[in-house]
Chains A and B, each alone.
Chain A
Amino acid sequence: MRAGRGGDPAATVPEAEFRSYYGQPVLKPPVWHEPHMPVYLYLGGLSGASSVVAAVARFSGHDRLALAARMTAFAGAGLGSGFLIAELGRPERFLNMLRVFKVTSPMSVGSWTLAVHGGLTAAGAASAVTGLLPLAGDAAVMASALTGPVMATYTGVLLADTAVPAWHAARREMPFLFAGSALASAGAAGMLTTPRAEAAPARVAAALGAVMETTAAAIIERRLGLEGEPYLRGRAGLLMKASRALTLGGGLLATVAGRSRTLTAMSGLAITAGALCTRFGMLAAGKASALDPKYTVVPQRDRAAGRRLAVVPDQEGGSDTP
């Protein structure tokens, strides 16, 4: 009957004292579904990084890798669009995304980017498959190397630009996490779809991406404190741990994967699985973070208390971090 004090005795951070309305969430959790949204996030990142790989490979003479990455970029964008549309409450109104362009809406920026990027990768892929207009195809790939990085990183902003504490607090690291994961994914895809002999850059990309992703994740966990707790607990915690193991393991394997098909497959699949776990884990952590009022109330109270104590008036509305 009472609005009570919350908290889990097994907490890893010192227990936060707070009050709430019957323990109910203050925020609405993200409504996005599984697997739609996490898979889209993975595919978008894969496509984005792959298009960069495709462009660099194309103009550095790695033609097999370039072709594979070009096709991967197209497939990722195409499939990803499908998942994204399926995620909408009213999928038939997908085109409403292109009614306006709003830089204040990462979803809008992302939609336009996806539309352009999808078109470019499709053109690139079509040219490669049909052999028609090769110059235009190459130009499309070049252009997609510009949209690709946006594809791979805007999703970090997409999640961070919400009231979800675990996401918003991680707004600095999140783009790097997604970029790293995208790079690893693209590398993994390249490894899996290109003859080993020509896949060395892909293996490097996989390893580098894995390091980048893991580093970003570690910083999130270390820097965020209470708001980072959802990444460590429950289903999200399991997914993030699995992600780390798979990504690091896959990345390590990538450094030696040139030796055998088995190692290549193991590495590529581990990294892919890790990247998926990251996306599922991020969504799960976001939901958990929105559903427990502690993550909303305690940091905000601390912030407000800090502001009250602060002497300097321009500290008003300072950082989110406790």
Chain B
Amino acid sequence: MAECHPVGFQWVMEARLRGAKVFHIDPRFSRTSAVADRYLPIRAGSDIVLLGALINHVLSNELYFREYVLAYTNAATLVSKRFQDTEDLDGLFSGFDPESHRYDPSSWAYEGDEESEAETDEMREGGGQHAEAAGSDSYGARGAGASARPPSDPTLRHPRCVLQILKRHFARYTPEMVAELCGIPPEDFAELAEAITANSGRERTTAWVYSVGWTQHSVGAQYIRASAILQLLLGNMGRPGGGIMALRGHASIQGSTDIPTLFNLLPGYIAMPHAHRHEDLAHYLEMEGADTGYWGNRRSYLVSLLKSWWGDAATEDNDFCFGYLPRLTGDHGHYATVMGQIDGTVKGYFVIGENPAVGSANGKAQRLGLANLEWLVVRDLTLVETATFWKDGPELETGELRTGDIATEVFFLPAASHVEKEGTFTNTQRLLQWREKALDPPGECRSDLWFYYHLGKRIRRRLGDDEIDRPAIELTWDYPEEGEHREPSAEAVLREINGTGPDGRALSSYRELAPDGSTRCGCWIYCGVYADEVNQAARREPGSRQSWVAPEWGWAWPANRRILYNRASADPEGRPWSERKAYIWWDAEKGEWTGHDVPDFDLRKPPDYEPPDGARAEAALAGTDPFIMQSDGKGWLYVPSGLSDGPLPTHYEPHESPVLNTLYARQSNPARRTYDRPENPYNPPGSARFPYVFTTSRLTEHHTAGAMSRSLAYLAELQPELFCEVSPQLAAEVGLVNGGWATIVTSRTAIEARVLVTDRVRPLRVQRQIIHQVVMPYHWGYGGGGLVTGDIVNDLLPVVLDPNVYIQESKACTCAVLPGRRPRGQALLDLIEEYRHG
């Protein structure tokens, strides 16, 4: 965090000054480790073993926050008789189809829910094949297929209650396994386990912070799930000082998830409709999600979105233009797109503020895809490698591509930087902060808003009366334009996102959204950011002039709540768990929830509220159900539906790993996505030719693929060359010299880097052998307007994906290391062949 988020890390440093103890668990000893109280090196790709052992420690020693767990989680809920755990099937959950490598999750349901899931073929499709269209992601947000009041056992003794399943599932995650698979000695594990359990409960809370070191794995989503289970068991969710903080990789990545650049989501985490599964609006709403919990209001959210997009053209009679929405036909994620390019099924490509030729896994596949397009549009601040691959890509040197043979027409459009345009950044805390324009963009550089708006206008001018053109013609596309370049007003866009009521005035809360088309809202969770016709994101009240929660700095979605699910900060009766951790509580006199933050709960729903039969949406949740987005209002220790690779986190080795999975017979995530293609060869499993673990990282001095930092002298001089960090032991084993050169080889390619021999990288004792890890930052490329250049680290990576969110496994693979610089041209290809086939 200090390394990649130094500005945010100031709060960690402040917490330390106030007595917080900071553990840093990372394969790499980074700047964060330097200032942490305790650094624990871990083998890349083994975190679920560690987290699972912590869960086991909490469960088997009865250290969980019993009152919290019983009241606020699904620990007591009974699971279907049909469910079989990895304990029963040696590493598989029930429902696995070995041919398609996919799960039918229907047997994971709560007791009583499984029949309804299996009722119709159609519904089964929604279960067994939902992963086809990444439906799992949207299901996950929604909690489909779970009842509001499933059967439960409050004594927590029933063998099929979630807590007992958890106990059995995690029983094999022991400190010994942690030592064997993570390389963390039992005494270090004990210190960590003692620290987090001692620091959790009524009086204290513990927070976890993670970044792409957890997500970029073939089982990445389950890393986060494991952390969520631990935090729920310890009562650290919805409370001040608790939670799980996801550090994002760029400014406003959170914002581009909320108003998504993801293919399978509409704004506000509404699932993108599927071409074959969903017929009309009613059918879509019926299938996509539960009727209880806040997702029970999804019709209001979606209809308001459709009204926002198509305005008066959207009416009750035409399903509010639901039919105009694009539909999914399958996986349209980044890597599926790249493979489509290579196969010739994807002809055109917009690359906006991204540099896949350097930033994505298996750069060669990326560039082969780019070379096989008809047209390519790149918008960026500098000429990034993605725009210049045809003249300076590494494949030209090896002869795999020839400039003359590449028919891709490349359009490079210079973009305005963040200081040259106004708008919001949404940070990981869901905080929207408005940013003023500091200066005009130079020359022909334009904002992305300008680009899309004027592109849309030009396209609309060319459209005719054809039925197929109507979605674009009828789209509301009328922002006020400002200045000589006719820049659309970003504030008008923010106001549109906020939404308006029947009177045309800005709405102040998503609770005002109506299912009948009388309200418009571009993103329901952002509703209120323009409340009272004021840009709430632009608020800058200094911390010294407001409460410690600082509600008047920017605006946090939803409804300016700073901590989600904060009902959980009070006990079931509505009293703070402790004075020290008081945050939100029930004021019986006033008959409403109050506290330091905006309550994330129905303001007037008393703690003793019991939902009547047949209640819908929030009314179906009790006064003790803080997790209001879930269909049962509970924190899910066990996930009955929504995940593609199992209801509980399970340790699987990375696709490329030098060690055996000694926990189960299954080596790797059985549901992971692989691309067995010539462009994407994998290191042979257990190959002695690739004995080392290799993980990628970032440096404070650079940003992502380097286009924004390698082009700036003041940053480039601070880290001028690509380097690899190796331990003195590995350096001695391979013959590397500090300051010299090393060549790192995988089945994809070989790259060269300067050598930094350092004690910070520690060889780990794993399964009675020494595992060496090589750490490399990935900021270099062959051009990109950079003052400094270097080989592309991501070229080493294979494309193997997490089945839930299709993230690539960049944080753990295997490699070979050679002293000296890499060979050039054909000799490089020969070297790879030699290593691939021995």
Contacts and interface: CB of A to CB of B under 8 A. Distances in A.
B738 interface: yes
Contacts of A1: 738, 756-759
Classify the interface of chain B: helix, strand, loop or mixed: loop
Nearest to B759: A1
Interface in A1-53: 1
Contacts of B738: 1
A1 B759 CA distance: 9
Nearest to A2: B759
Contact size class for B?
under 10
A161 B738 CA distance: 39
B191 to A, nearest CB: 28
Contacts of B756: 1
Interface residues of A, number: 1
A51 B759 CA distance: 65
Interface in B758-782: 758-759
A1 B755 CA distance: 11
Interface in B727-747: 738
A182 B820 CA distance: 56
B759 to A, nearest CB: 7
A1 B760 CA distance: 11
A1 B727 CA distance: 11
Interface in A236-253: none
B721 to A, nearest CB: 16
A182 B758 CA distance: 54
A1 to B, nearest CB: 6
Interface in A185-202: none
A155 B709 CA distance: 49
A1 B725 CA distance: 11
B317 to A, nearest CB: 73
A1 B756 CA distance: 8
A1 B758 CA distance: 7
A130 to B, nearest CB: 59
A227 B756 CA distance: 34
B81 to A, nearest CB: 60
A1 B757 CA distance: 7
A1 B723 CA distance: 14
Contacts of B757: 1
Interface string A103-138: 000000000000000000000000000000000000
Interface in A306-322: none
Interface string A56-94: 000000000000000000000000000000000000000
B764 to A, nearest CB: 20
A1 B739 CA distance: 9
A157 B420 CA distance: 57
A172 to B, nearest CB: 43
Nearest to B731: A1
Contacts of B759: 1
Nearest to B738: A1
A3 to B, nearest CB: 13
B736 to A, nearest CB: 12
B723 to A, nearest CB: 12
A1 B737 CA distance: 10
A1 B738 CA distance: 7
A284 B757 CA distance: 34
Interface in A158-174: none
A239 to B, nearest CB: 32
B668 to A, nearest CB: 36
Nearest to B756: A1
Nearest to B757: A1
A290 to B, nearest CB: 24
A253 B757 CA distance: 60
Contacts of B758: 1
Interface in A264-297: none
A105 B757 CA distance: 46
> Can you list the 3 inter-chain pairs with the closest CB atoms, starting with the nearest?
A1-B758, A1-B738, A1-B757
Interface of A: 1
5 contacts: A1-B738, A1-B756, A1-B757, A1-B758, A1-B759
